[in-house]
Amino acid sequence: MLVQLLIGFILAAIVGLLGWRLGALTRGGAAGAFLIGGAVFGFGGPTWGAILAVFFASSSFFSYFRRQDKVGVAGEFAKSSRRDLGQTLANGGVAALLAIGVGIVTRESPWYPTLTLAYFGALSAATADTWATELGVLSSRPPRLITTGEVVTTGRSGAVSFLGTLASLAGGAFIGISAFILIQMASLLSTGSWFLQDWFLIPLCTLAGLLGSLFDSLLGATWQRMYYCNTCQTITEQTQHECGHPTRSIRGISWLGNDQVNFLTTVVGALSAALVGLLFL
């Protein structure tokens, strides 16, 4: 275990440094990637680490995909394409905690399959939400609030679109397919045979991703804190608007910002996958 932990943190340090040098992570984000990646690989093992890498690579790709088309489209709500410490922990914190849980109970525990499904569900939700956000803003049709159906500004928290929903489904399915393929590779290397019983991971991760993404939108439309700029007369997530003037709180729970919503989104994804997965275990 100690050797695997050491290898895990070395690999995580390399990934974090590479992400920082490529501009995908801030220094804080690189530190978060180091902590999360090291814990996931060290306690969860190579397959868990590979799934985390798949999430990070795909999310970074779509953050830069058609970047120029996104400039100015959702300025009041857009997040930086460089992930900071808060964003990194929000998306990967639950995954790291589940990996530590596996390190505590060990892989021989009857809890291991459930923890594994929860891990896949957490990353499915994070991926689905990221893909929905990054691709949804490119929709030619304006989004609507998930609660009332009101047409709102592109990028507004709580807004959904047909393109964004499709992206959410694709993101969850992508993690499910990736997990299934990686498990087959690990099985072939270790036993020389396939392990096709895990086919259910594909629909399971698709469902967990969708549920997590929709929960994110629901919180964004109801309890996430939002502010209003009197000068520009616009809703924003910023305490100080880009015009330079301070904003005033208009709704939401004071501590529930975007990072906290993303963290809870992964919790929903993890719980969804673990509970529905009981039907297949």
pLDDT in tens, 148-167: 999 988 878 899 999 999 99
Point out the least confidently predicted range of 7-16, 163-172, 245-254. Answer: 245-254
How confident is the model over 200-215, as a mean pLDDT? 98
Residue 63 has a pLDDT of: 84
Cα gap 105→120, rounded to integer Å = 18
Is 71 a residue whose pLDDT tops 90?
no
Identify the DSSP state of 281: -
Q: Where are the alpha helices (DSSP H) in the chain?
A: 2-21, 27-39, 46-64, 67-70, 85-105, 112-136, 162-191, 201-222, 258-277
* Band of pLDDT at residue 76, cut at 50, 70 and 90: low
* SS3 state of residue 234: strand
Range of the domain at 269: 2-277
How many distinct structural domains can be found in the chain?
Answer: 1
Residue 23 has a pLDDT of: 86
Mean pLDDT of the chain: 91
Is 34 a residue whose pLDDT tops 80?
yes
Cα gap 174→54, rounded to integer Å = 9
Single-letter amino acid code for the residue at 67: R
Residue 235 has a pLDDT of: 80
pTM, two decimal places: 0.92
